[in-house]
Structure 1
Amino acid sequence: MVEKLLQSGLHWEKKEFRRNEFLKIAGSTDTHIYYIENGSVRIFMTDENEERIIRFGYTGNIIVSLDSFLSGKPSDFYIQALKKTKVKQASKKDFYEVIQSDEEHMKMWIQVLEELVLQQLEREKDLLISSPRERYERVLRRSPKLFQEIPNKYIANYLRMSPETLSRLKKS
């Protein structure tokens, strides 16, 4: 599905971000959609000076600050490169012109949105589960690649546990 989007005639601009560099900052409006060619990012917000990671992206993923991209309003989310990351970015205007020009492209976009909704529902279930072990096991089953691509301190934050707890769970 992502491959079709990359070959859809959409104009993609290549960009490179250094480790810890921001693709987007809170308070800005996201007018681009990104395809990660290589590297990894985290999407997070701050709550009383504490970071709360809601999603990761790595090689082969499409990422965007979806709330802002869809509404045209500023987002509360940051998108930050966790290591040197190469992306292709397309403007929202160009993206919508391409997906609206062809029924197959529109179906593909609907599939992307449906997948994001389902992923978000799984994420919400994760947050409702009180057992750190169960949260860890659910995410491991769903996204084993995450544990190869993302540093443990960020995964621990995502799972709402200390890095030490995550380390113990991985060893057991």
Structure 2
Amino acid sequence: MDPDVFKNIRKKVLSYTHVDQPQLEDALRFYDVITLSKGERLISEGDMVNFFYYLDSGCISYYKMEEGEQKVLEFYTQDVFFTDLIAYVKGVPSQCYLEALEPSVILAVRKDRAEKSFETSHQLERFGRLSMQEAFLKLFHRVDRTNNRSNEERYLRILHKRPDLLQRVPQYLIASYLGITPVGLSKLRKRLGKG
């Protein structure tokens, strides 16, 4: 396997906290490399979620189905740790989907192996805690933005913070992410002079 596939995750782990090189390499040997084609699912509703993931490249949609409609909760793009947190932490079947919107390379570590590495290294335990906190905070901020910002504010935030999504993700999924219809998104873009 190409050792460079771990280059980005090494940098990401070290961005959280210092980890001695031997401990980091020992932990990384438990990660599996997963490649997904566009449209392929990493998790489906009803699956048990026993892995924490790092997205090395690509784009993943995190969504659930409500009354036959796809409700996008988040888009994950390269250099981020992610999973279905609720199912992962509680040990219950997922109510969501994780699906590749473009060819993606993912590194996956099984929950029991991650926890074992945390037991053997305070540095790795600190990394695990901080990466999990970051994932929970992203989820909390997403809910907060959805509940406390207008459609226009949420769209402008994407334009400012994540403009690449508008090129990588179909507009109907952007609309779902914003909590509006595709027609509503089209009208919003026209009103703002963006469409």
Tell me if TM exceeds 0.5. yes
Between the aligned partners of 1:144 and 1:109, the Cα distance in structure 2 is 29
Counterpart position of 2:127: 108
Is 2:56 aligned against 1:37? yes
Distance 1:105 1:41, change over 3 A: same
Counterpart position of 1:3: 13
CA deviation after TM superposition for structure 1 residue 130, in Å: 5.9
Structure 1 consecutive aligned stretches of length 4 or more whose deviation exceeds 6 Å: none
Query: Which blocks of at least 5 consecutive residues in structure 2 are unaligned?
Result: 1-10
2:165 to 136, 140, 146: 146
Superposition map of 1:7-86 within 5 A = 7-10=24-27, 11-86=30-105
CA deviation after TM superposition for structure 1 residue 145, in Å: 4.3
Compare CA radii of gyration and give the structure with the larger one: 2
Q: TM-score, normalised by structure 1?
A: 0.87
Between the aligned partners of 1:152 and 1:8, the Cα distance in structure 2 is 40
Is the contact made by 1:2 and 1:62 (CA closer than 8 Å) also made in structure 2? no
Query: Which blocks of at least 5 consecutive residues in structure 1 are unaligned?
Result: none
Q: TM-score, normalised by structure 2?
A: 0.77
Between the aligned partners of 2:52 and 2:109, the Cα distance in structure 1 is 5
Structure ranking higher in helix proportion:
2
Is 2:194 aligned against 1:171? yes
Between the aligned partners of 1:8 and 1:158, the Cα distance in structure 2 is 37
Render the CA deviation track for 1:72-127: whole Å, top value 9, x for unaligned: 11110111011111111111111111122211212222212222232222211222
| Percent identity for Structure 1 against Structure 2 | 23
Classify the secondary structure of the residue corresponding to 1:106: helix
Counterpart position of 1:124: 143
Between the aligned partners of 2:109 and 2:193, the Cα distance in structure 1 is 38
Please, which moves more after superposition, 134-143 or 61-70?
134-143
Between the aligned partners of 1:170 and 1:20, the Cα distance in structure 2 is 31
RMSD over aligned Cα atoms: 2.4
Distance 1:170 1:41, change over 3 A: farther
